[in-house]
Amino acid sequence: MKHIPRKRFGQNFLTDQGIIESIVDAIDPKPGQPLVEIGPGLMALTQPLVERAGQITVIELDRDLAARLRTKPQLNVIESDVLKVNFTALAQDLGVPKLRVAGNLPYNISSPILFHLLEHVNVVQDQHFMLQKEVIDRMVADAGNSDYGRLSVMLQWRYAMENVLFVPPESFDPPPKVNSAVVRMVPRAQPADLNPQLLEELVRVAFSQRRKILRNTLGKWLEEKGFSGEFDLQRRAEEVSVAEYEALAAQLSAMKS
């Protein structure tokens, strides 16, 4: 039976075979690797992933699609909202230290998915996601760029990222209203002496009013934390590099302990 795409689930199905092959080539799955696909939908990516990796795990929220997927013996189907999936527990259940995560994500919840996975970064080998191109531009932007913001800092701190493929709207059915792209994300080693919550809070405060100089935003917050070190507050949040935010959070973390 033909599946009618559901807008509320961000269902834009890939139909361009050339693009599908390029995405699977970018993922480069090998037999037996613990691959987890988010939002398999009508299996445009799933089929070639299974052909290369063998058994894989898929997470699908749409119950009609999940029912179809369950008829495929090569799939371990989790019918759930991906935001409720505990990837750390999943890796344990599968008996592997790290997962390879991939998917053409539902664009309406792409940032929450990225932040959810950040909490499970220790069990991730790599991530390949199709997203709105504009979101990927923000993820990979450098300081000084108008796309640079909270998403850039919070992700660049934990992942090496690269934009690997541009995907135009006509590659999908129905076509989305925006351009898309595929990003590769590989977790970086975590600095031992940094409290991630502190970095999160610091970046949130800094970018709360991105046009103002930091003295007016971060200044008060740093004072409340009892910070007495050196930090140039005459700049705006978007002029401070990821490494500088990281170093400041590390100094604050050291003070707290």
β-pairing, 13-14 with 75-79?
unpaired
At its nearest, how many Å lie between ligand SAM and the CB of residue 119? 16
14 near ligand SAM, judged by CB under 6 A: yes
Would you give the binding string for ligand SAM spanning residues 89-118, x where CB under 6 A is met? Answer: ---------------x-x--x---------
Which span (32-40, 135-143, 232-240, 244-252) binds ligand SAM, by CB under 6 A? 32-40
CA distance 112 to 232: 32
Strand-pairing partners, residue 17, are: none
At its nearest, how many Å lie between ligand SAM and the CB of residue 229? 42
86 known ligand binder: no
61 near ligand SAM, judged by CB under 6 A: yes
> Among 19, 27, 56, 65, which residue sits at the site for ligand SAM (rule: CB under 6 A)?
65
Task: Give the other-Cβ count within 10 Å of 6's Cβ.
Answer: 13
> Which residues, in sequence order, are CB contacts of 80 under 8 Å at separation 6+?
59, 61
187 near ligand SAM, judged by CB under 6 A: no
10 near ligand SAM, judged by CB under 6 A: yes
134 known ligand binder: no
Which span (58-66, 180-188, 193-201, 220-228) binds ligand SAM, by CB under 6 A? 58-66
Binding site for ligand SAM (CB under 6 A): 9-14, 38-42, 44-45, 59-62, 65, 81-83, 104, 106, 109
Residues at the binding site for S-adenosyl-L-methionine are 12, 14, 39, 60, 81, 104
